[in-house]
């Protein structure tokens, strides 16, 4: 049985979003295209959050506030 792994980096959302967006463009499905754009944006937000968390951890380790 496969374990569900959380995608903290947002890469999965960006890739799947790009595929949905492309599918929507090819088929003329504006809703699918919008879903893809939204999912890509979600992936980018996850990346930004992860970057911020890493920066906070780095500063904690260095003793910088």
Instruction: Name residues whose C-beta falls within 8 Å of residue 18's C-beta, 6 or more positions apart in sequence.
Output: 36, 40
pLDDT tens, residue by residue, 2-35 = 454 566 789 999 999 999 999 999 999 999 999 9
What's the total number of domains in the chain? Answer: 1
Instruction: Quote the pLDDT of residue 63.
Output: 85
Tell me, yes or no, whether 4 lies in a domain.
no
Q: How far apart are CA 24 and CA 2, in angstroms?
A: 30
Instruction: Quote the pLDDT of residue 33.
Output: 98
Tell me, yes or no, whether 50 lies in a domain.
yes
Tell me, yes or no, whether 58 lies in a domain.
yes
Q: How far apart are CA 38 and CA 23, in angstroms?
A: 14
Tell me, yes or no, whether 48 lies in a domain.
yes
pLDDT tens, residue by residue, 39-55 = 999 999 999 999 999 99
The domain in which residue 42 lies consists of 11-62
Tell me, yes or no, whether 1 lies in a domain.
no
pTM: 0.77
Residue with tokens 């754009």: 37
């Amino acid at each position: 049985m496969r374990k569900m792994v959380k995608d903290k980096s947002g890469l999965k959302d960006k890739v799947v979003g790009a595929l949905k967006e492309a599918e929507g463009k090819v088929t003329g499905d504006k809703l699918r295209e919008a879903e893809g754009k939204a999912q890509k944006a979600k992936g980018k937000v996850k990346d930004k959050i992860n970057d911020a968390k890493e920066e906070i951890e780095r500063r904690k380790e260095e003793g910088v506030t």
